[in-house]
Amino acid sequence: MLPTASDHLPPVLRPAAPSARPLRELAGRFAERTIGEPTGQATGITVSTTDLRAGDVFVAVRGGTRHGVEFAREAARRGAVAIVTDDAGAAAAADTGLPVLVVDDPRAQLGALSAWIYRTGPGDPLPRLFAVTGTNGKTSVSHLLDGILVQLGVVTGLSSTAERHVAGEVVVSRLTTPEASEFHALLALMRERGVEAVSTEVSAQGLTRHRVDGLRFDVAGFTNLTHDHLDDYGDMATYLDAKLALFRGERARRGVISLDSAAGDEIARRSEIPVTTVVTPALAEDADATADWTVEIGAERADGTEFRLRGPDARTLSATVPVIGRHMAANAALAIVMAYESGYEWERITAALDGERIAARPPGRTQLVSGPTGPAVYVDFGHSADAFEKTLAAVRRVTSGRVLMLFGADGDRDTTKRADMARTAVTGSDILVVTDHHPRHEDPDTIRRTLVDAARRARPDAEIHEYSPPERAIVEAVRLVGDGDAILWAGPGHQDYRDIRGVRTRYSARELARRALRDAGWPVPEPGWPVPYPPDETPLSDPARAWE
């Protein structure tokens, strides 16, 4: 049986020694009514029977097409001690014989329920909490902040699109922002492991879908707002409002706002918490924008970008971010100011960072996978026009020859941004290669045709190629360039699978690029596949030739 897109997901991280909570007290605090006697103790909470452990409360929420109460019997079989659901699910839940706690909106209550069970609410002892939101840069800022804190000597935790870190242990992530039950369990584990500070990505969906409910962050950071997720929010004003929710008193104590995008000024003006602002004049859409902190870009090289950060009271700091791009320097500066605003002394920060390289590399963000000669190949997670523009410009500044752009677009996601992505890709590159990404349940031929047509309208004279699947596209791309040229493969980044009609197909753009380079005679590093095969998948004998 082929694995589905939900199979082989990383485990939910939980505390090893959770303290029990009385079900009677849980019912008294949250339930509008109960069915059955809420006796016994709860040691965890989940919305998924896949992750359910004996002693858990199972929260049955209504989904887009099904109600979680359909899995109530399975929850009982796996050892659930109670079910939380709404009126629509109450009768079916009661048939399990477990006590049922009926609430008006189980998903909206999930954060508060989880915070109470794991003792991770605003009044509980917790690590210092950082949240980063914005369209682009969330992963980079959170990983850079984590690295900065480690350089300060702090025991850290991290929750990003790519990874979860717990006091040095690294686990692959599921969602950008985990479900509230998973998030609170993760924080309880981090506290148990002695973590002092936690850097987290918070997506717009994480806010509107209640995934960070029950938490109050010490510092919230904002990167930018660009065209994305309009399939969820309809228009940019609604999308901005979703992000703005993080800058309310019940969500965060302080904010650090980048003014590099026009939305930054609006977030700063409408914020309900004290904010500090940062601007990078080399990137700012408003050339006259002024801020509390200014980022000056220094030398840009293939191995990193130098910058100087200037702030109030003549505070200055010079450092190097180990990734190409002015936007990466801006991300690093935002992370530094967030650390300072949380209470870390400026002297401690400068002692660790001034004149140094930041000891963090965001996974799959403009990651160089090629060797010392031949075309430079960068694999990146960017999947919006704004990300393409910034990263292409960064690659251009460190490339003596031509720049080839290789990309595809997500299926079952915001279709309104595809034409902008194609226009930006073709105008910023010398050669464009369009391929597939995650087609999901869409026809990949149709997605590619939309991208190619938009690119040709933008630049009728451009050199544009179309290849499918991406295993073939990278081989052809390498054939089109030579020594001194560069390839930017945008989209796959750190990911190690493609979603094709609900099936997770094992796939690493980094390894495919290295194999294509090696087959063309260029030297490459040989780290091997980044993750092992799931046990019920058959590896391709040569992934670079899977299309033949």
Local structure of 290: helix, strand or coil: coil
Quick one: pLDDT at residue 176?
56
| Residues 6+ away with beta carbon under 8 Å from 398 | 300, 301, 302, 324, 376, 486
CA 49 to chain centre: 25
pLDDT at 313: 96
Q: Which helix (H) or strand (E) holds 391?
A: helix 385-397
What is the chain's length? 548
How far, in Å, CA of 218 to CA of 211, rounded?
Answer: 17
Residue position matching structure tokens 């309310």: 248
Task: With CA atoms as reference, report the closest residue to 172 among 499, 498, 497, 511.
Answer: 497
- Among 162-176, 454-468, 486-500, 522-536, the minimum mean pLDDT is found in 522-536
Q: Are 524 and 517 in contact (CB under 8 A)?
A: yes
Name the residue ranges covered by the structural domains of the chain: 21-118, 128-357, 367-545
Q: What gap in Å lies between CA 456 and CA 470, rounded to an integer?
A: 20
Residue 174: predicted pLDDT: 60
pLDDT at position 311 is 97
Cβ neighbours of residue 169 under 8 Å, at least 6 residues apart?
A: none
pLDDT of the residue at 219 = 98
pLDDT (average), residues 106-124: 95
Q: What is the pTM of this model?
A: 0.84
506 pLDDT band, cuts 50/70/90, is confident
Q: Is the pLDDT of residue 266 over 80?
A: yes
pLDDT above 90 covers a percentage of the chain that reads 75
pLDDT at 379 over 90: yes
Cβ(471)–Cβ(545) under 8 Å?
yes
Instruction: Inform me whether the pLDDT recorded for 9 exceeds 90.
Output: no
pLDDT tier for residue 536 given thresholds of 50, 70 and 90: very low
Mean pLDDT over the full length of the chain = 90
Residue type, 318: S
Q: Given this model, what pLDDT does residue 544 score?
A: 34
List the single range of 133-142, 180-189, 496-505 with lowest mean pLDDT: 496-505
Per-residue confidence at 534, pLDDT binned at 50, 70, 90? very low
Band (63; pLDDT cuts 50, 70, 90): confident
Interatomic CA distance for residues 216 and 226, integer angstroms: 26
Q: Contact at 8 Å (CB) between 35 and 50?
A: no
The verdict on whether omega for the bond into residue 372 sits within 30 degrees of 0, i.e. cis, is: no
pLDDT given at position 172: 77
Give 272-326 pLDDT, tens digit per residue: 999 999 999 999 988 888 999 999 999 999 889 999 999 999 999 999 999 999 9
Q: Which two tokens stand for residue 66?
A: 């099904």
Give Cβ neighbours of residue 535 (< 8 Å, ≥ 6 apart). none
**Tens digit of pLDDT for each residue in 390-426?**
899 999 999 999 999 999 998 988 898 899 999 999 9
CATH of 367-545, one of 3.90.190.20, 3.40.50.2000, 3.30.300.340, 3.20.20.70: 3.90.190.20
The pLDDT of residue 10: 60
Backbone φ, ψ for residue 138 (5° rounding): -60, -50
Q: Quick one: DSSP state of residue 174?
A: S
Mean pLDDT, residues 336-348? 98
Cβ atoms within 10 Å, residue 472: 19
Rounded CA separation 398/400 (Å): 7
pLDDT of the residue at 173: 66
6 vs 454: CA distance, rounded Å: 33
Q: What is the mean pLDDT of residues 56-81?
A: 95
What's the pLDDT band for 170 if we cut at 50, 70, 90?
Answer: confident
According to the CATH classification, is domain 128-357 in 3.40.50.2300?
A: no
Q: Check residue 262 and report its DSSP letter.
A: H
User: Token pair of 342, please?
Assistant: 């949380």
Q: How far apart are CA 391 and CA 464, in angstroms?
A: 19
Question: Is residue 545 pLDDT above 90, yes or no?
Answer: no
Q: How confident is the model at residue 537 (pLDDT cuts 50, 70, 90)?
A: very low
pLDDT level of residue 526 (50, 70, 90 thresholds)? low
Let me know: does 485 contact 404? Beta carbons within 8 Å. Answer: yes
In this predicted structure, the answer to whether residue 430 has a pLDDT above a threshold of 60 is yes
Rg of the chain taking only CA atoms, in angstroms: 24
Average pLDDT over residues 218-247: 88
Exposure string for 19-58, b = 16+ CB within 10 A, e = fewer: eebebeebbeebbeebbbebeeebbbbbbbbebbeebbbb
Q: Which of 199, 206, 162, 147 is nearest to 182 (CA)?
A: 206
Asked whether the beta carbons of 285 and 334 are under 8 A apart, the reply is no
**Does the domain formed by 21-118 have CATH 1.10.1330.10?**
no
Q: 166-180, 249-263, 377-391, 433-447: lowest mean pLDDT where? A: 166-180
If we measure between CA atoms, which residue out of 104, 106, 96 comes closest to residue 35? 96
